[in-house]
Structure 1
Amino acid sequence: MQHDLFSTNGGSEPISLGAQSGLLRGFALPLQDQLLDAIQDIALEAPWRQLFTPGGKPMSVRTTNCGTWGWHSDRQGYRYVAHDPHTGKPWPQLPELLQQLARRAASQLGFSDFEADACLLNCYEPGAQMGLHQDRDEQSFAAPIVSVSLGLPAQFLWGGTQRNERPARIELLHGDVVVWGGVDRLRFHGVAKLAAGKHPQLGAQRINLTLRHAGN
């Protein structure tokens, strides 16, 4: 299993992470240029920002969103909102390119007809991290999560359904896609502190796109 997690299969076959979860190595690589252009367009309309936890602590990542719903955090809690609190405008439209990528990735793990209505974009710079958490803010847990990694490599923390279960560490590379749903939908996950480095296209950063179905 350890060998498989660090092998490269070009996204042809999922590497199993659980009963209904898997890693697609290099799955997004054929679309990398279009994805980077789309991210730039999204950030022009809804600029990157640093959010705060309900407890008032600044998050180490910068975020933005696209789609019908955008994930937001402040003193009022974690939630999805239909308008960008910074601009008062609806979030940028979810690009069809991203929708199709997420749909194809989900189908590789047996989740047919996945329709994302929210995409959270997180920008990590060296030293940024994401603590272990569950994605529980969606109205339903029936749809899977599709996570796309671009830029610097990261150590993905893949835990169990209980916070105290020790997570596995899985290296995610530029173009990798992780999908989890069904019995694995509420597994704890996170990202270890990002190591310093420089990616040929993104420089000293990693961008993660997490596509979800957040509404009814």
Structure 2
Amino acid sequence: MHGELFPRERTEIAPGAVHVPDWLGPDRQRELLADCREWARPPAGLRTVHTPGGGTMTARQVCLGLHWYPYGYARTAVDGDGAPVKPMPARLAALGRAAVAAAYGEADPLGHGDGEQPAGRCGPYPSYGWQGDEVYDIALINFYDGDSRMGMHRDAEERSGAPVVSLSLGDSCLFRFGNTASRGRPYRDVELRSGDLFVFGGPSRLAHHGVPKVLPGTGPQDLGLSGRLNITLRVGGLDP
């Protein structure tokens, strides 16, 4: 509980970028956390990412479906233990589609969100070209401890323009959502809490974004997670 007088509301941060607070209820958060712990086990488990320039990402990562590395995709953990990447679970792909439907103002036919869902398409959120038939086939799961950060970057290695889905578990963070032209201003800072959904597509699909700060100790105590997990779902559109 954060003590707001009024519930947080769904907000369009930029055209095509929508924040849906508290989309995942406590039970679903616990289910996803248990899944993430399994996915993080070797082979092709949680690893530290090194950039071509010699830097090291402070958030550790595990991938499903395809393995992301700076700056491309592979079917094996080429910058880890070299093992084949774990498959993308069908339930996670379905969760991605349901998340976009919820963010863009459609009914959630799969009932994945635990909050109240709108009945049918409702304004003011247009679809931004989302057809609902794209298959989410890639998941990047980042683990942040209290000192982790993520610099401003774009998710640009995919060939599909389908929206990116971001789900938060554990500690809150400061999420910085910027523009498509540069890593600098204008940008907007949003606090993402455990259970929050953030979707960005359409004109914001290639916007720069990052995590300048994690807020330690702010996650739900009954979740049993120290730190923050971010589950990012994407449609690759890549050759099989």
CA 1:202–1:158: 2 relative to 1, 3 Å: farther
Q: How far apart in 1 are the matches of 2:95 and 2:58? A: 27
Partner amino acid, structure 1, of 2:11: I
Tell me, what secondary structure is at the counterpart of 2:69?
strand
> Which of 56, 59, 65 does residue 57 from structure 2 map onto?
59
> Which of 77, 82, 85 does residue 88 from structure 1 map onto?
82
Q: How far apart in 2 are the matches of 1:36 and 1:87? A: 23
Partner amino acid, structure 1, of 2:13: L
* RMSD over aligned Cα atoms: 1.8
Partner amino acid, structure 2, of 1:70: H
Q: Are 1:28 and 1:101, in contact at CA under 8 Å, matched by a contact in 2?
A: no
| Matched residue count | 201
Q: Are 1:102 and 1:114, in contact at CA under 8 Å, matched by a contact in 2?
A: no
> Displacement, 1:193?
2.3
Q: Are 2:217 and 2:226, in contact at CA under 8 Å, matched by a contact in 1?
A: yes
Tell me, what secondary structure is at the counterpart of 1:193?
strand
Bigger Cα displacement from structure 2, 176-185 vs 95-104: 95-104
> Displacement, 1:162?
2.2
CA 1:157–1:63: 2 relative to 1, 3 Å: same
Q: How does 1:25-36 map to 2 (within 5 A)?
A: 25-29=21-25, 30-36=27-33
Q: How far apart in 1 are the matches of 2:138 and 2:8? A: 29
Q: How does 1:2-41 map to 2 (within 5 A)?
A: 7-9=7-9, 14-29=10-25, 30-41=27-38
Q: How does 1:1-216 map to 2 (within 5 A)?
A: 7-9=7-9, 14-29=10-25, 30-45=27-42, 46-67=44-65, 69-73=66-70, 78-85=71-78, 86-108=80-102, 109=104, 110=127, 111=130, 112-140=132-160, 142-163=161-182, 164-197=184-217, 199=219, 200=221, 201-216=223-238
The normalised TM-score by structure 2 is 0.78
> Displacement, 1:172?
0.2
Q: How far apart in 1 are the matches of 2:157 and 2:218? A: 33
CA 1:18–1:154: 2 relative to 1, 3 Å: same
The aligned residue for residue 3 of structure 1 is: none
Q: Are 1:145 and 1:211, in contact at CA under 8 Å, matched by a contact in 2?
A: yes
Structure 2: runs of 5+ lacking an equivalent: 1-5, 105-126
> Displacement, 1:7?
4.5
> Displacement, 1:18?
1.9
Tell me, what secondary structure is at the counterpart of 2:214?
coil
- The one-character-per-residue Cα deviations of 1:108-163 (angstroms, maximum 9, x if unpaired) are 323322311110011001111111111111123x2110011110000000111222
> How many percent identity over aligned positions?
32
The normalised TM-score by structure 1 is 0.86
- The one-character-per-residue Cα deviations of 1:7-56 (angstroms, maximum 9, x if unpaired) are 524xxxx4211221201111122521221121111112432111111101
